[in-house]
Amino acid sequence: MASLRGSDELLGHSQLPMVTNGASPLTVMDANNDAKKVKLDQSQVGPPSKVVHIRSIPTDASEAEVVALGLPFGKVTNVLVMKKKNQAFLEFGDENQASTMVSYHTEVPANIRGRTAYVQFSTHKELKTEVVNPAAQAALQAADSVQGEGQKTVLRVIVENMIYPVTIEVLYQIFTKFGTVLKIITFTKNNSFQALIQMADPVAAQAGKLSLDGQNIYTGCNSLRIDFSKLSSLNVKYNNEKSRDYTNPSLPTGDSIAHHHPMDHGAAAFALGTPSVLASPFATAVPGFGATQLTAYGAAHPAGGTQLDGLYHTNPFTAQMRGLPAGGAGGGSPLAGFPGMQPSPGATSMGLAGLQLGGMTTGPVVLVSNLSEEMVTPDALFTLFGVYGDVHRVKILFNKKDNALIQFAEPKQAALAIQYLDKVKVWDKQIRVAPSKHPVVQMPKDGQTDGGQLTKDYTNSPLHRFKKKGSKNYQNIYPPSATLHLSNIPPTATEEELKEAFGKHGVVKNFKFFPKDRKMALIEMSQVEEAVLGLMGMHNYQLSDSSHLRVSFSKSTI
């Protein structure tokens, strides 16, 4: 019995895996020599073989990633990864499956973690590894497991250790790399955020599960646990922030007032039926290939390591077929043509660590410009920007008082603030919010003081919204809107009292207490700017001896 060794070690021992061609087995070194002859012109590849050769993979690419690359095209029976050579071999169950993969990647370059890999037929007919590689065996067993699920297209996704919000747009961006996403329903059950995601075909669902199960959306948190749902189809009634039917953009948004509460929708919310299948964008792009063969598979963007590298980077070919600009974060949204269903501004920018904004890396500090010098105060900025993260420090610049630096607890929160508040109108001026080059906001030095009027430290403020990890406030982050969500309303407060208080900041159009909980209400101002002023003026407003009002932006309407 050969000893267990990782694929890095295999190349340094005499007992090597072999690639066999008929009765004449060749060592991996022979395969490497053949690999050197590969040319980028795919017309020069050899005759079809069920063994596929892949070049230019990342040095630390795993066997699971390579298997995921081939999974959409058929049953992968063996894998050999030569990390030091940046190469790999995949063996399929039959030649047709290998041919489909090679033909597909002639049109669409293979991609692992943002690195282009080159795919062609191997000159050898069989891949036979005599040394057992545990990582390869585990990857093949995982592939067999998901393929053994048959024709299932609905995935159940549970987000564990959820520190940062997960929206429908984030889920779409992740899973659309593995195929056409038809429908998504999100809900909270047993205090955990969950989603049901219906893919267009079983292979896409299998590829998504194999590549994403156990991965993190953000570094060290928001872990995905994925299995197949017993449902054959999802019944989506509304297109809003909790559910989406991409096959039916005309669905109403519904009364989403209840969406401020995490809800246990339960299985009763989903009716069983026959899955509808959208035609793949590749069906007409690549002659001779049908929708089930050439859906926009995640093979082009499998997850890597313990986090989803390049999470929101669009496959250029996929983008072109969908009418989207290619090129990655902020380059376009798959929802661009979806009436009333634009993605949240933060969705396409929050990549691996939520820090990539148009190619610029964001730290915890943002620069705010074009402020009203007469109206701006550190407290007002703390309240407004505190909607999107815990603000630690605010500094209004002494020599340029229409500018301010705001330091958040984490870079991800700064990224959210940039996306949601840039170009918002405040005090009759359109403010600009951008990443700052400063890593921290400095407090005045000893002996210097601005009287507390320009620089303030809020590190230990009791008003931070996100002090607790996994706070439900993360699930209710929305862009500025004319409608505000009010909470912590005491029983003694009346509609007239609240309307009068908010009326000092603008015109109140509508007001509505929550039917089953008068501690919460919605109030609609005549325009977004008035709602922004209302939030800054009324958040933490004292309504009774023991009650201070909590105000946030809402996506609901009255």
Residue 271 predicted with pLDDT over 70: no
Residue 157 predicted with pLDDT over 80: yes
Query: 466 in a domain, yes or no?
Result: no
* Alpha-carbon dihedral sign for residues 290, 291, 293, 299: positive
**Residue 545, Ramachandran bin (φ over 0: left; ψ between -120 and 50: alpha; else beta):** alpha
What local confidence, expressed as pLDDT, does residue 449 receive?
A: 57
* Alpha-carbon dihedral sign for residues 427, 432, 437, 439: positive
What local confidence, expressed as pLDDT, does residue 396 receive?
A: 93
What local confidence, expressed as pLDDT, does residue 197 receive?
A: 96
Give the residue-averaged pLDDT of 237-246.
92
Query: 494 in a domain, yes or no?
Result: yes
Q: Which of 121, 147, 173 is the last residue of a domain?
A: 147
Tokens 């050898």 correspond to 124
Query: 472 in a domain, yes or no?
Result: no
Give the residue-averaged pLDDT of 344-361.
36
What local confidence, expressed as pLDDT, does residue 557 receive?
A: 82
- Domain extent for 287: 154-321
Residue, of 332 and 124, whose pLDDT is higher: 124
Query: 234 in a domain, yes or no?
Result: yes
What local confidence, expressed as pLDDT, does residue 216 receive?
A: 87
Same-domain pairing of 135 and 160: no
Query: 263 in a domain, yes or no?
Result: yes
What local confidence, expressed as pLDDT, does residue 377 receive?
A: 92
Same-domain pairing of 290 and 407: no
Same-domain pairing of 309 and 430: no
Tokens 């002494």 correspond to 398
Q: How far is CA 118 from CA 38, 179, 295, in A?
A: 9, 21, 19
Tokens 């301010």 correspond to 404
Instruction: Categorize the per-residue pLDDT at 509 as very low, low, confident or very high, splitting at 50, 70 and 90.
Output: very high
51-96 pLDDT tens trace: 999 999 988 888 888 888 887 778 888 999 988 889 999 999 888 8
What local confidence, expressed as pLDDT, does residue 25 receive?
A: 42
199-208 pLDDT tens trace: 987 777 877 8
Q: Which of 428, 457, 486 is the last residue of a domain?
A: 457
DSSP for residue 361: E
Parallel, antiparallel or unpaired: strands 432-435 and 550-553: unpaired
Residue, of 363 and 120, whose pLDDT is higher: 120
For the chain, what percentages of helix, strand and coil (3-state, to nearest 5) are there?
Answer: 25, 25, 50
Residue 181 predicted with pLDDT over 70: yes
Alpha-carbon span 542 to 145, nearest angstrom: 57
User: CA nearest 440: which of 419, 454, 457?
Assistant: 457
Same-domain pairing of 520 and 441: no
Same-domain pairing of 441 and 508: no
Tally of structural domains, the chain = 4
Cα distance between the two ends of the chain: 71
Instruction: Categorize the per-residue pLDDT at 362 as very low, low, confident or very high, splitting at 50, 70 and 90.
Output: low
Q: Please answer whether residues 421 and 369 qualify as being in contact, where contact means their C-beta atoms are separated by less than 8 angstroms.
A: no
Give the residue-averaged pLDDT of 153-177.
89
Same-domain pairing of 307 and 176: yes
What local confidence, expressed as pLDDT, does residue 52 receive?
A: 93
* Neighbouring C-beta atoms of residue 470, cutoff 10 Å: 18
Residue 395 predicted with pLDDT over 60: yes
92 has which bridge partners? 76
Spatial CB neighbours of 378, under 8 Å, sequence gap ≥ 6: 394, 395, 396, 404, 453, 454, 455, 456
pTM, rounded to two decimals: 0.41
Residue, of 504 and 306, whose pLDDT is higher: 504
Instruction: Categorize the per-residue pLDDT at 149 as very low, low, confident or very high, splitting at 50, 70 and 90.
Output: low
Query: 355 in a domain, yes or no?
Result: no
Instruction: Categorize the per-residue pLDDT at 493 as very low, low, confident or very high, splitting at 50, 70 and 90.
Output: confident
DSSP track, 451-485: TTSSEEE-TT-TT-S--STT-GGGGG-----SEEE
What local confidence, expressed as pLDDT, does residue 211 receive?
A: 78
Give the residue-averaged pLDDT of 396-408.
90
Same-domain pairing of 143 and 176: no
Instruction: Categorize the per-residue pLDDT at 314 as very low, low, confident or very high, splitting at 50, 70 and 90.
Output: very low
Query: 80 in a domain, yes or no?
Result: yes
DSSP track, 260-307: GS-----GGGS---PPP-PPPTTTTTSTT--TTTSS--GGGS--BTTB
What local confidence, expressed as pLDDT, does residue 500 receive?
A: 92
Helices within 51-201 (DSSP H only): 63-70, 95-107, 134-147, 168-175
Query: 346 in a domain, yes or no?
Result: no
369-384 pLDDT tens trace: 999 999 999 999 999 9
What local confidence, expressed as pLDDT, does residue 61 receive?
A: 84
Q: Please answer whether residues 310 and 351 qualify as being in contact, where contact means their C-beta atoms are separated by less than 8 angstroms.
A: yes
Distance of CA 446 to the CA centre of its chain: 44
Q: Which of 266, 289, 321 is the last residue of a domain?
A: 321
What local confidence, expressed as pLDDT, does residue 255 receive?
A: 55
CATH number of the domain bearing residue 163? 3.30.70.330
SS3 509: strand
What local confidence, expressed as pLDDT, does residue 73 receive?
A: 78
Same-domain pairing of 46 and 131: yes
Same-domain pairing of 419 and 312: no
Mean pLDDT computed over every residue of the chain: 72
Residue 165 predicted with pLDDT over 90: no
Same-domain pairing of 272 and 169: yes
331-342 pLDDT tens trace: 333 333 333 333
Same-domain pairing of 315 and 384: no
Provide the percentage of residues in the chain whose pLDDT is more than 90. Answer: 26
Spatial CB neighbours of 141, under 8 Å, sequence gap ≥ 6: none
Same-domain pairing of 127 and 201: no
Residue 545 predicted with pLDDT over 70: yes
